[in-house]
Every structure is written in structure tokens, then in C-alpha cells.
């Protein structure tokens, strides 16, 4: 974990991008730990301790979206799947805590033959801090400034044009879903 000008950022360890994504989203390096995400996996699938379908069977992370959504819920937030048939310009960013982008995880070319067996995804959080959005991609060396709401919408619009991307809008539980969309 590093802190630059008060901004919490965690660098990728093992397959724990979901953990880093959540901690950066909440700007709290102790919001979640590996044990708390593993406990969520156990709660989601109590009869599958070793080969739990919500994480890597190696125990190194690679948590799925169910773990992320449950973790958000445990902190009083909810994740709304972004319908890519809509325009991101319809999103009222003022009601969001942030965004979570799911992308294909980079793989080593010599391991491509194993991809069907070890399909991995990478989680990236984005959050507004002091009026600017930041990209908290744990594969980078530090958070990167994206800029204004418009810059963020443009950035995510470009990302969603690439294949195999999914976006989650993160809002407080008490925010009515209809407030997230401009009419």
C-alpha cells in the first residue's frame, strides 16, 4: 500500500486485484483483507471450502463479481451493472461512490493454451477525490489522474468499446437507482 497526497493505492499482489480494487474504492487499506474476502466466498458457497467457485482454487484470489457485490453490500453500497446499450453520458456521477471496471486479465503468451482452464479477470476501481477521478489499476505503479466527470465518462466509453469489458456503478444503498440516470 502506498499513499500519495492522501490517496490510498495498493499495488497488485498475487491475484488479489478485487481486494485492491475495493480498498482503493473505499480509500481505506484495511476496508477488506484476503481473509474477509475468503469468508465471503465461504458464505456464498458454504459446502465448497477448497474448490470454491467464487475464487481461485489455488487460494491466491481471483475473486468473482459475487464477492465484489457482497463486499459492497457489507459496507452499505450496491453495485449496479451498467447496460452497455445505454450511453455513459446518461449517468449522474454525483450519486456514485465510483466505478468498477472488469477486464480480461493479462496472460503470458506461452500460457494461452491454458486460458480455458484458468480464465482470469482483472478488477479496476475509479473514484472521485477532491473533484477529480482517479484510476486505481493495481497493475500500475501508482494511481493515475483521469480528471473531470466528463473525462471519466470519455475514458470509460473508450474502454467499453473494447471486447470483454463490464462496468459496475457503485452507489450507496439509500440512493434510488433512478437517480443514477439522467432523463
**Three cell numbers at 82?**
451498467
Q: Look at 30 and 59; give whichever has higher pLDDT.
A: 30
How far apart, in whole angstroms, are the C-alpha atoms of residue 73 and residue 63? 16
Whole-number average pLDDT of the chain:
87
Task: Say yes or no to pLDDT of 56 above 90.
Answer: no
Range of the domain at 72: 11-180
Task: Please report where in the chains the cell 489455488 appears, as a residue.
Answer: 58
Say if 2 falls within a structural domain: no
CA distances from 128 to 18, 32, 62, 160 (A): 19, 20, 25, 19
Lowest-confidence region among 61-65, 84-88, 134-138: 61-65
Mean pLDDT, residues 130-159: 96
DSSP-based three-state secondary structure for 149: helix
Mean pLDDT, residues 103-114: 61
Say if 4 falls within a structural domain: no
Say if 1 falls within a structural domain: no
* Degrees, nearest 5: CA angle 78-80-84: 165
What CATH number corresponds to the domain at position 73?
3.90.70.40
pLDDT score recorded for residue 5: 66
Say if 83 falls within a structural domain: yes
Lowest-confidence region among 48-57, 73-82, 99-108, 111-120: 111-120
Say if 67 falls within a structural domain: yes
Closest among 100, 86, 99 to 182, alpha carbons compared: 86
Closest among 152, 126, 150 to 137, alpha carbons compared: 126
**pTM attached to this predicted model:** 0.88
Say if 5 falls within a structural domain: no
Say if 60 falls within a structural domain: yes
Task: Say yes or no to pLDDT of 30 above 60.
Answer: yes
Residues labelled as active-site residues: 17, 122
pLDDT score recorded for residue 49: 65
Say if 95 falls within a structural domain: yes
CA distances from 147 to 31, 151, 164, 181 (A): 25, 6, 25, 21
Count of structural domains, the chain: 1
- Cβ atoms of residues 142 and 135 within 8 Å: no
Give 1's pLDDT tier (boundaries 50, 70, 90).
very low
Amino acid at each position: 500500500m502506498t499513499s500519495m497526497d492522501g490517496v490510498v493505492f495498493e499495488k497488485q499482489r498475487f491475484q488479489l486485484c478485487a481486494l485492491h480494487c475495493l480498498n482503493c474504492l473505499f480509500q481505506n487499506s484495511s476496508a477488506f483483507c484476503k481473509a474477509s474476502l475468503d469468508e465471503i466466498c465461504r458464505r456464498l458457497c458454504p459446502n465448497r471450502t477448497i474448490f470454491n467457485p467464487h475464487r481461485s482454487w489455488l487460494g491466491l484470489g481471483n475473486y468473482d463479481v459475487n464477492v465484489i457485490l457482497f463486499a459492497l453490500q457489507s459496507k452499505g453500497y450496491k453495485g449496479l451493472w451498467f447496460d452497455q446499450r445505454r450511453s455513459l453520458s446518461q449517468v449522474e456521477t454525483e450519486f456514485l461512490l465510483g466505478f468498477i471496471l472488469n477486464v480480461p486479465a493479462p496472460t503470458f503468451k506461452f500460457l494461452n493454451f491454458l486460458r480455458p482452464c484458468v480464465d482470469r479477470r482483472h478488477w479496476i476501481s475509479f473514484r472521485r477525490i477532491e473533484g477529480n477521478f482517479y484510476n486505481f489499476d493495481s497493475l500500475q505503479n501508482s494511481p493515475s489522474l483521469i480528471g473531470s466527470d466528463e473525462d471519466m465518462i470519455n475514458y470509460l466509453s473508450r474502454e467499453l468499446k473494447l471486447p470483454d469489458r463490464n462496468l459496475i456503478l457503485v452507489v450507496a444503498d439509500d440512493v434510488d437507482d433512478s437517480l443514477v440516470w439522467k432523463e
